[in-house]
Amino acid sequence: MARQRLVVVGGVAAGMSAASRARRLDPDLEIVVFEATGYVSYGSCGLPYFIAGVVTEADDLIAITAERFRKERDIQVHTGHRVTGIDPAAGQLSVVELANGHERRVGFDRLVLATGGRPARPPIPGLDLPGVFGVRTVEDGLAIRGYLEERRPRRAVILGAGYIGLEMAEALVARGLEVTVLDLARQVLTTVDPDVAGRVQAELERHGVRVVLESPVEAVLGGDGAHGRAGSGGHGSTAGVRAVRAGGQSFPADLVLLGLGVRPQAELAEEAGLKLGASGAVAVTGRLETSQPGIYAAGDVAEVRHLVTGRPAYVPLGTTANKQGRVAGENAAGGDARFPGVVGTAVVKVFGLEVARTGLSEAQAKAEGFDAAGHAITHGVRAHYYPGPGPATVKLVAERGTGRLLGAQMVGEAGVAKRIDVVATALHAGWTVDRLAELDLSYAPPYSPVYDPILIAASETAKRL
């Protein structure tokens, strides 16, 4: 019997996890990875810290190099190779070597699609101007850092007040820039509710970031007063970005970053006839199999089951990508693993604040049809007599009638990032807030009050349902 070949399309978190897992389970499998960028196995989430200078070398963001995958795991990694078409029936794909444009066809017996996501690029004129960057790949990070060092921009405008937008605001303030964040929404960070977001906005403003909300971006303007062509991949004005026009105002900018969210790079899957979900990401089973038997999808290109709603969702995060990759790799190697799903846990550092969320926000829960109530408390994260950081706000969201816990949000100077995990765990368990209030959580004066803020929030929320 000929050696079976697994091809993995995309070599970042999900792709390399899949390849590694498959190798561990089947030493005989031929494993080939095609990655369009020049790097594999890197942490996109580290880019703001690389750009800020907290992480000094881009290489530090890479968990395992392509070279080591080849040598230590017998995985044939091809960077700078873009897969341009998949023919599931023939078990073949087309791949272009970007350096020279050479295209070839490669056969596969099994396939894992891990093409990831890309920064959303709405049809705004001028996004192709020099000085406008996404924050996604190692190349993006190097380009932004190079631009900061060579062009010394003074004023940055960040389009979008989501996770990456806020992390980049902090990074650019650390670099000495004047930073403006624009968003279409009425609040920053729409994955949390307005009451929690308000504290985040105050923190941004306290650090000199200008936050402009309900401000639709109309155009990015170049140095010659004109703007580039909308949606084109061309160069536009060579003079570079000069300003952003949004909500009728003009915001001077020497640097513009895209933080408008992540979209699945699902074109390849769609053209190959794989079914997409309502989110536009690839629909998958619990085994992460696509509508085409034997083809798996994982990471930011794929949907994921949300355990609170029980429905597919698009939650493009690094943790999920890694875990899905393992499951896809195991199944592609002949195993039978399942990806249990997510509860939507996330945390972000915004200057001196930790901001965390899990499950559904109050707004999301209502949009999903739950009769949801949210209640927030603010309480110290240590014993009242123990010196240290200020209080944290804990908001719980629960279903009226049943008391079922639906989600939580927390914000505070410390003691938030990992506390949210207790609620995430309770969501996995499908508990009520009453049950959450019964937990035997750790206590010592330097780390917690006698009643952990989560317990206080749980009993206060239970009273109000």
Q: Is 424 in the site for a second copy (CB under 8 A)?
A: yes
Report whether 154 contacts 178 (CB < 8 A). Answer: yes
**Helices 13-25 & 318-332 angle (0-180, nearest 10):** 30
Q: What are phi and psi of 105, to 5 degrees?
A: -105, 140
Q: Which of the residues 4 through 63 are near a second copy (CB under 8 A)?
A: 13, 43, 45-46, 49, 54-55, 60-61, 63
Q: What are phi and psi of 227, to 5 degrees?
A: -125, 160
Q: Which of 324, 336, 342 shows the shortest CA–CA distance to 112?
A: 324
Both structure tokens of 120: 């959303």
Both structure tokens of 171: 């990074």
- Residue 45 CA from chain centroid, whole number: 7
Question: Could you confirm whether 163 is annotated as catalytic?
Answer: no
Binding window for a second copy (CB under 8 A); candidates: 97-105, 178-186, 226-234, 377-385: 377-385
Answer positive or negative: Cα dihedral of 100, 101, 105, 107.
Answer: positive
CA atoms within 13 A on the CB side of 59: 3
Q: By C-beta, is 58 or 239 nearer to a second copy?
A: 58
- Residue 333 CA from chain centroid, whole number: 27
Shortest Å distance, C-beta 357 to a second copy? 9
Binding window for a second copy (CB under 8 A); candidates: 74-82, 96-104, 361-369, 431-439: 431-439
Alpha-carbon torsion, ordered 48, 54, 60, 61, to 10 deg:
-20
The correct pick among 347, 363, 366, 456 for binding a second copy (CB under 8 A) is 347
DSSP state of 62: B
The correct pick among 342, 398, 462, 465 for binding a second copy (CB under 8 A) is 342
Shortest Å distance, C-beta 144 to a second copy? 17
Size of the residue set binding a second copy (CB under 8 A): 62
The correct pick among 75, 313, 343, 372 for binding a second copy (CB under 8 A) is 343
The correct pick among 119, 125, 126, 344 for binding a second copy (CB under 8 A) is 344
CA distance linking residue 16 with residue 31, whole number of Å: 11
Shortest Å distance, C-beta 54 to a second copy? 7
Shortest Å distance, C-beta 317 to a second copy? 7
Q: Is 349 in the site for a second copy (CB under 8 A)?
A: yes
Q: Which of the residues 268 through 327 are near a second copy (CB under 8 A)?
A: 307, 317-320, 322
The active-site residue, picked from 5, 30, 45, 439, is 45
Both structure tokens of 157: 């405008």
Point out which residues bind a second copy (CB under 8 A).
13, 43, 45-46, 49, 54-55, 60-61, 63, 307, 317-320, 322, 340-349, 354, 356, 358, 383-387, 415, 417-422, 424-426, 428-429, 431, 435, 438-448, 450-452
Catalytic residues: 45
